[in-house]
């Protein structure tokens, strides 16, 4: 794993140098949390240090990195991402498909995971962000997931303010340590929450953290693989017993 991580970091540095020396935009494929963490480790060393992260919509967990700056290069180039809308051909016979169902159906077409971004499910529909050069192939070839026949098209628009839904919860804690917040947010014991840190499954703003005492910044997105994501909204009050009332937005 460490060798793969080092190769990935070298690849980031190579893309940055090439973008800087040739005066062009360059893009990575979609990066998962582990790859984003590797990028966080090397981004301070990149030539020019001009880059943007985006996954197709605000709030995406899987993102691409675009190397290059519009002001310096004198032109703009959008991210090569196409949002697809996947719908059942018949609502009457549609199953309630899961993230795994949609992802498995796409991967079964021979498409690699790095070409697929977030999959967001809304009732019987799913919005899937993909690399633009495979969009037409998915539209023509993806016809079924489990027993449900599907229709795939380019999403003309995304549901405004509804693509990533969150639920505001307020928890009480003695402090703002991340292990305590994760325990409260996902109904775990403190010990169980800490095990996610030691396994490298906790990410703050896309960077892996093993520090159980880490205090998140207001607005920071925390991801725990296998559990979910939340946005830290900060202390909003103090209880009668002197505990902190802390607001969290949980992704649904």
CATH of the domain at 90: 3.30.70.330
pLDDT confidence of residue 165: 87
Mean pLDDT, rounded, for 171-200: 96
Asked if 170 and 130 sit in the same domain, the reply is no
Tell me what the mean pLDDT of segment 66-78 comes to: 93
- Dist. CA 198–CA 190, nearest whole Å: 13
Residue 38: which pLDDT band, with cuts at 50, 70 and 90?
A: very high
Average pLDDT over residues 105-130: 97
Task: Based on the fold, state whether residues 182 and 247 are members of the same structural domain.
Answer: yes
pTM score, two decimals? Answer: 0.88
Q: Is 189 within a domain? A: yes
Sheet holding 51-54: strands in order across? 26-27, 64-67, 51-54
Q: Is residue 58 part of a domain?
A: yes
d(CA 220, CA 153): 33
Apex 12 CA angle, 228 and 55, nearest 5: 40
52 and 28 housed in the same domain = yes
Residue 69 CB neighbour total at 10 angstroms: 16
CATH number of the domain where residue 226 is located: 3.10.290.10
pLDDT-based confidence at residue 1 (cuts at 50, 70, 90): low
Residue 161 predicted with pLDDT over 70:
no
Are the CB atoms for 64 and 55 separated by under 8 Å?
Answer: yes
The whole-number average pLDDT for the span 14-38 is: 95
176 and 233 assigned to the same domain = yes
In a domain, 143, yes or no: yes
Cβ-contact 28, 65 below 8 angstroms: yes
Are residues 240 and 171 both part of a single domain? yes
Q: What residues make up the domain containing 234?
A: 166-251
Last residue of a domain, one of 133, 154, 175: 154
Q: Give the strands of the sheet with 202-204, arranged side by side.
A: 166-173, 244-251, 228-238, 221-224, 202-204, 207-208
Residue 52 lies in a domain: yes
CA dihedral 179, 181, 184, 190 (to 10 degrees): 20
Residues 104 and 138 in one domain: yes
Report yes or no on 159 lying in a domain.
Answer: no
90 and 66 part of one domain: no
Total domain count, the chain: 3
Q: Is 45 helix (H, G, I), strand (E, B) or coil?
A: helix
**Residue 161 domain-assigned?**
no
Percent of the chain with pLDDT over 90: 85
Q: Residue 172 falls within a domain, yes or no?
A: yes
């Amino acid at each position: 794993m460490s060798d793969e991580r080092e190769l990935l970091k070298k690849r980031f540095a190579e893309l940055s140098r090439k973008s800087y020396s040739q005066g062009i935009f360059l893009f990575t494929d979609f990066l998962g949390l582990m790859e984003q963490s590797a990028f966080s480790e090397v981004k301070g060393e990149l030539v020019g240090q001009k880059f943007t992260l985006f996954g197709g919509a605000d709030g995406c967990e899987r993102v691409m990195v675009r190397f290059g700056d519009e002001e310096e290069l004198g032109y703009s180039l959008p991210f090569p991402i196409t949002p697809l809308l996947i719908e059942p051909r018949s609502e009457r016979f549609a199953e309630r498909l899961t993230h795994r169902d949609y992802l498995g159906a796409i991967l079964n077409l021979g498409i690699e995971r790095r070409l697929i971004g977030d999959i967001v499910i809304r009732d019987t529909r799913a919005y899937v962000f993909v690399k633009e050069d495979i969009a037409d192939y998915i539209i023509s070839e993806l016809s079924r997931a489990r027993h449900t026949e599907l229709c795939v098209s380019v999403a003309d628009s995304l549901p405004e303010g509804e693509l990533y839904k969150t639920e505001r919860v307020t928890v009480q804690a003695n402090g703002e340590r991340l292990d305590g917040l994760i325990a409260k947010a996902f109904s775990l014991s403190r010990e169980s929450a800490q095990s996610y840190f030691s396994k490298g499954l906790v990410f703050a703003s896309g960077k892996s953290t093993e520090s159980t005492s880490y205090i998140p910044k207001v607005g920071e997105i925390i991801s725990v693989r296998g559990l979910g994501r939340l946005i830290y909204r900060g202390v909003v009050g103090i209880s009668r017993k002197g505990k902190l009332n802390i607001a969290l937005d949980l992704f649904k």
